[in-house]
Structure 1
Amino acid sequence: MKRILVSIFLLGSLVHCARQKESISQSTQFTNAYLINLIRANDPNSLDKIVFSRADVEGTTLTRINSTNQDFYIYFSMQTNSQIPASQASSTSWDIAFNRYKIATNGGGTNSSGRGAVCLSSLTSVSVAASTARAAQNCSDDKFVSDTRTSTQGIGGAVGEFVGNSILTDWFSYQIGNLTTKGLVYIVRSGTGNQYFAVRMESYYSDAGTSGYPTIRWKRLSE
């Protein structure tokens, strides 16, 4: 009987220790995951900033980008529907970039070797703009603007200067603590200069209401 009781006690002790080890292991895993995410959040070359990029209505693509870190831009290629690392910022492989509410194209002051630029379309539908000749929506070649040092009003009402695109500073309306899109459609010329995309800002917030998550609707022009 004593042997049975001792065996039961030892078995219970082993189970308890195993549970303790499992608990410690889970805690360690959580800590490690937190640290990895923290490192990635501060790494402009970490290719995990696309929350989603999926096909949507009328042949458009809906893309949400995590650009919450104000220290660097997140670069995106509409030609390949993918994030481009910051280490390739001086290449022509990306088309549009986001730093919270600020937007840049691949040309001018942002990248002198890029051929990117933007024009404000006279249309309001992304799908219609994508199937309409550029000249017919007031976006002939001479209407495109490259990046320069510009300024815009942001959170808190402060006006800040940055290198980006002056045409794209007008995409939102600002009220205390809140940015809302104006629904403007832009024609963005690719970094390579040989493709054009109709782009409209859809929102600036995540589903949880966190700022710095711009969502764009876009479609390549058929011309």
Structure 2
Amino acid sequence: MPAPHEIRATYDRDNIVMYQAYSPAIADAALKAQTFVPPFSMERMTWIKPSFLWLMHRSNWGSKNGQERTLAVTISRSGWEEALSKAVLTVYEPSVFKSKTDWDERFQNSEVHVQWDPERNLRGASLNWYSIQVGISRHVIREFVDDWIQKIEDFTPRVAKIHTLLRSGKADEAKRHLPVERVYTPPAAIARRLLIHS
């Protein structure tokens, strides 16, 4: 049986939390403005991730250059689902596309990309399901910045605390500081195109 593709996130009726890692300059400006402003670039794709631990794996707990600061970006669920409705998978999938040519044309013209990667546990090991990353192109990024973002929080101190506990052999205590994430199921028409099966 193939590993499931699941969106796991912190969310409520109206909003959902995404995680991003940035340099101090971008993070400080975003926290002050409560949205993204320069030096954040509106001209390149930005990737948003609802999985906290996947981002910790990607940024190595904020130790990678340019990824020192972890932001929790709360966006509207309506914006999130708008992004998903425009998304095209980053790889060809026969069950979704008529042909590789069909996929290639859609991908080249897509405003939003979806990539699936193995989810990670607290220590960075792969788990048996896939976690979603959503790439928002410059054609959609203005909506993200102006309309979807509800608030931005600095999770950098929380990241440091969890990582310190983990390195000190206190994994159980570290887990208690993780955000609570649960399965998020988008509308059926979106789910089918993105390989999410109930």
Q: How high is the TM-score relative to the length of structure 2? A: 0.30
Question: Larger helix proportion, structure 1 or 2?
Answer: 2
Q: Which has the higher strand share?
A: 1
Max Rg structure: 1
User: Which structure is higher in RCO with an 8 Å CA cutoff and minimum separation 6?
Assistant: 2
